[in-house]
Amino acid sequence: MARSLFEHARACLDADTVERKLALTAEGFAAFQCGDLLPDADAPPPAPIRMPGRPPRPRLVEPRALAQRGLGTPEGRRAFLHAIAHIEFNAIDLAWDAAYRFRGMPAAYYADWVRIAADEARHFALLQARLAELGAAYGDFDAHNGLWEMAEQTAHSCLARMALVPRVLEARGLDVTPGMIARLRHMGDDATVAILETILDEEVPHVAAGSRWFHWCCEREGVAPEPTFRDLLSRYARGSLRGPFNVEARMAAGFGPEELAALEALAPPPR
């Protein structure tokens, strides 16, 4: 008998150790692939959004309180990798919450977000192993909670969640990762480059899933995608926008010319 996808997603969200969150995510992906984990039409409504389970470290601070370190030092390299690992760890919870919170969606929606949760867990594990090779561990540096704060702000609406989490916050990786890859390759850090290339390649379809379901939600609600996206950016994400934007990758991820123009218009001018 199939188990409830929503119950398993909730268990993944509540897992408060790295090891348990990764193990439950792998288990859930395998079960979903086999048809042993399905959305339950009779499940109770989702619980109000709350902080997911997480280990006691890293300490969460305001973004402006994070120390700025250059990539040119070993400590700076470790801090950079830790920041990326923290994004990927949060992305596991973001994917599971998308699967848990929004009910009555097509089967393909749940398939997308369960797969993305598994991808993000694999990305995190790659970064965790690389941190260990460099003499560090997840939790050694402070981090911020911006990704989850946006999830909380969009918990009322699948349309808003799809517009703002994958297509704004997570899509930022499409913009900045190529430059980081170039710098690390110049420094001879081929091991980290290989991980970031894998993440970049796989984040394009992740953001594309956000685009696909944002447009689906717009059609369901009878609203036009471009002005709706522009309005959501202005209301929720103005402070999260930073150019320049990776136009090629974003177009591959489902952005249209008007949406890219909206991003450009609302982003602050380069310093």
- The percentage of residues in the chain with a pLDDT greater than 70, rounded to a whole number, is 99
Positive or negative, the CA dihedral 247, 253, 259, 263 is negative
The pLDDT value given to residue 71: 84
**Alpha-carbon distance 149 to 93, whole Å?**
12
Q: Where are the domains of the chain?
A: 3-59+72-266
What is the residue-averaged pLDDT of the chain? 95
Contacts of 186 (CB under 8 A, 6+ apart): none
For residue 106, what are its two tokens?
């097509």
139-171: pLDDT as tens digits: 999 999 999 999 999 999 999 999 999 999 999
CATH code reported for the domain at 3-59+72-266: 1.20.1260
Full-model pTM = 0.96
Mean pLDDT value across residues 70-96:
94
The pLDDT value given to residue 69: 77
The pLDDT value given to residue 1: 60
SS (H, E, C) 137-165: CCCCCCECCHHHHHHHHCCCCHHHHHHHH
The pLDDT value given to residue 28: 98
pLDDT grade for 239, boundaries at 50, 70 and 90 = confident
Q: Is 90 exceeded by the pLDDT of residue 70?
A: no
Backbone angles phi, psi at 3, to 5 degrees: -95, 165
